[in-house]
């Protein structure tokens, strides 16, 4: 059952429009007392409230007119949240909206928590978790494409696909269980089961592959700046971000931890990670930093391999090259403002000066060209959060286990355990089952009032 006892019977309110001045401010109140509280503040007494109708009234608190407002009453379950609810459209402006909110609170509402309206909508079964997450993504959308995908999910795109897979899996499970319960009566075709299960697994795998790409649209393309110490990685990060984010010195080994920044380059959202220079070292702190650099290499969609034109290609560069050559990397010769020592690499590279800014536009262009394919292929994906991505990965793991089990002739009751585990992952994905912790994590990202 979807019941969240701690919050259930309370009435809460929040300002739902952004802070600041605008023509209209929106204040929302939700819960069993919401209608009563608002009626108390209305200048006109209306006994027979019509729902979903706009009333034009004055709000009065402590004998003072707060504002002239429009408001709409919603009756459960016909509201966004599924609870009784009132939306008040007052004049925009920090003071007015605050005063309306204060009056609601003084009359019995409490302040809403982050994302609490959407949380109620989820708990009342108005939306599933994927839809709730897309509301957040719609608000946060960083590109038009990301917005489009989030909108499709709000209409249920990913949820529907998962429901379908879930249905197929339930059918398979039913077949298996009948044969477990009536081993003498039911002849089961193992090949058929295998093929059906494999078909589900292939679809999940496809979702995962699309998802990896789709995440770039909603969260950004991950780019790591990697190289030996002192090549100018931090200088380059600062240059790309247009701000002094990372410390720059001429001492090799300056950057110890991964430093991240986000920026749009030619319409693509990037999460850029500046990493500790990679070299053999005995310094324990530097060692940890270097381990983290290696991790960033594995996570990155594109790697900028920064080389130093004053030193040329050294053994240290060779050491790093061996570690990144299987990834999507772009060699960048830095410090070309000095007398340079560039030894031609076989592969095409870019020449820049992070210090003077020379070549940076060219570099940005190359970077975007390199990730274009990733981005375009992500447009078919409906996976928009890491939570969804990871749940799919776990679901796949169980399917894969079940398939392997079938192959080596394991008993059906063992196979059915993996299938059930996979079903659990699907349920978590759409929010058929959930924990309070999970909800807290998801909704804590929201703003108050949504």
Ligand X SMILES: Nc1nc2c(ncn2[C@@H]2O[C@H](COP(=O)(O)OP(=O)(O)OP(=O)(O)O)[C@@H](O)[C@H]2O)c(=O)[nH]1
Per the CB < 8 A criterion, the answer to whether 222 and 273 are in contact is: yes
Q: CA-CA distance, 418 to 54, in Å (whole number)?
A: 53
**Strands, sheet with 221-227, edge to edge from the N-terminal-most edge strand:** 259-265, 268-274, 221-227, 302-308, 329-334, 350-351
Burial 264-277 (b: 16+ CB within 10 A, else e): ebeebbbbbbbbbb
**Restricting to residues 395-434, which ones interact with Mg ion according to CB under 5 A?**
none
Judged by beta carbon, residue 254 or residue 445, the one nearer ligand X is: 254
Q: Tell me if 21 contacts ligand X by CB under 6 A.
A: no
Report the residue from 11, 255, 388, 401 that binds Mg ion according to the rule CB under 5 A: 255
Judged by beta carbon, residue 115 or residue 277, the one nearer Mg ion is: 277
* Shortest spacing between CB 299 and Mg ion, in angstroms: 18
438 binds, among Mg ion, ligand X, none (CB under 5 to 8 A by kind): none
Would you say 275 is a known binding-site residue?
yes
Judged by beta carbon, residue 143 or residue 311, the one nearer ligand X is: 311
Distant-in-sequence, close-in-space partners of 284: CB < 8 Å, separation ≥ 6: none
Q: CA-CA distance, 433 to 438, in Å (whole number)?
A: 10
The β-bridge relationship of strands 64-74 and 221-227 is unpaired
* Shortest spacing between CB 318 and ligand X, in angstroms: 17
Would you say 249 is a known binding-site residue?
yes
Q: Which of 247, 235, 334, 236 is nearest to 289 (CA)?
A: 247
**Restricting to residues 275-314, which ones interact with ligand X according to CB under 6 A?**
276-277
Please state at what angle helix 386-407 crosses helix 190-219, rounded to 10 degrees: 160
* Shortest spacing between CB 120 and ligand X, in angstroms: 48
Using only C-alpha atoms, the chain has a radius of gyration, in whole angstroms, of 28
Report the residue from 43, 338, 380, 444 that binds ligand X according to the rule CB under 6 A: 338
Identify the burial level of 295 via C-beta atoms within 10 angstroms of its C-beta, where 0-12 means exposed, 13-18 middle and 19 or more buried.
middle
Q: Tell me if 269 contacts ligand X by CB under 6 A.
A: no
Would you say 254 is a known binding-site residue?
yes
Please state at what angle helix 386-407 crosses helix 412-430, rounded to 10 degrees: 170
**Restricting to residues 209-228, which ones interact with ligand X according to CB under 6 A?**
227
Judged by beta carbon, residue 156 or residue 232, the one nearer ligand X is: 232
Torsion of CA 418, 420, 423, 427, to 10 degrees: -130
* Shortest spacing between CB 279 and ligand X, in angstroms: 8
Report the residue from 81, 153, 218, 234 that binds Mg ion according to the rule CB under 5 A: 234
338 binds, among Mg ion, ligand X, none (CB under 5 to 8 A by kind): ligand X
Q: Which of 302, 293, 287, 301 is nearest to 231 (CA)?
A: 293
- Judged by CB under 6 A, which stretch of 125-133, 351-359, 405-413, 437-445 contacts ligand X? 351-359
Judged by beta carbon, residue 107 or residue 254, the one nearer Mg ion is: 254
Residue ranges that bind ligand X, judged by CB under 6 A: 227, 229-235, 248-250, 252-255, 276-277, 334-335, 337-338, 353-355
Binding positions for Mg ion, rule: CB under 5 A = 233-234, 254-255
């Amino acid at each position: 059952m979807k019941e969240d006892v701690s919050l259930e019977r309370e009435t809460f309110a929040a300002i739902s429009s952004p802070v600041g001045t605008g023509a209209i401010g929106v204040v929302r109140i939700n819960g069993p007392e919401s209608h009563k509280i608002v009626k108390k503040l209305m200048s006109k007494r209306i006994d027979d409230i019509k729902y979903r109708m706009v009333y034009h009234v004055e709000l009065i608190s402590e004998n003072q007119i707060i504002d002239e407002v429009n408001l709409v009453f919603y009756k459960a379950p016909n509201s966004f949240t599924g609870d009784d609810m009132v939306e008040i459209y007052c004049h925009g402006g920090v003071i007015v909206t605050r005063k309306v909110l204060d009056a609601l609170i003084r009359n019995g509402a409490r302040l809403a928590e982050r994302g609490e309206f959407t949380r109620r909508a989820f708990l009342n079964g108005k939306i599933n978790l994927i839809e709730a997450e897309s509301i957040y993504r719609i608000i946060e959308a960083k590109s038009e494409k990301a917005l489009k995908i989030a909108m499709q999910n709000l209409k249920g795109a990913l949820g529907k696909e998962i429901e379908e897979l879930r249905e197929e899996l339930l059918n398979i499970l039913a077949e298996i269980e009948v044969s477990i319960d009536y081993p003498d009566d039911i002849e089961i075709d193992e090949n058929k089961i295998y093929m059906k299960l494999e078909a589900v697994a292939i679809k999940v795998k496809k979702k995962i592959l699309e998802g990896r790409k789709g995440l770039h649209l909603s969260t950004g393309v991950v780019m790591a700046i990697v190289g030996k110490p002192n090549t100018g990685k931090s200088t380059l990060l600062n240059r790309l971000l247009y701000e002094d984010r990372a410390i720059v010195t001429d001492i090799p080994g300056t950057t110890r931890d991964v430093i991240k920044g986000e920026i749009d380059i030619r319409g693509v959202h990037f999460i850029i990670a500046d990493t500790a220079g990679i070299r053999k070292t005995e310094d324990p702190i530097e060692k940890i930093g270097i381990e983290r650099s290696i991790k960033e290499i594995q996570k990155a969609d594109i790697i900028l391999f920064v080389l130093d034109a004053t030193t040329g290609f050294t053994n240290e560069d060779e050491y790093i090259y061996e570690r990144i050559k299987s990834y999507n990397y772009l060699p960048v010769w830095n410090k070309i403002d000095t007398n340079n020592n560039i030894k031609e690499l076989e592969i095409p590279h870019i020449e820049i000066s992070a210090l003077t800014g020379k070549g940076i536009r060219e570099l940005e262009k190359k970077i975007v060209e390199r990730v274009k394919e990733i981005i375009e292929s992500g447009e078919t994906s409906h996976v928009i959060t890491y939570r969804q991505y990871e749940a799919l990965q776990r679901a796949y793991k169980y399917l894969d286990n079940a398939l392997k089990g079938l192959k080596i002739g394991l008993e059906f009751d063992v196979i059915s355990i993996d299938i059930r585990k996979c079903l659990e992952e699907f349920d978590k994905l759409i929010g058929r089952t959930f924990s309070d912790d999970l909800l807290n994590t998801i909704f804590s990202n929201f703003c108050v009032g949504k």
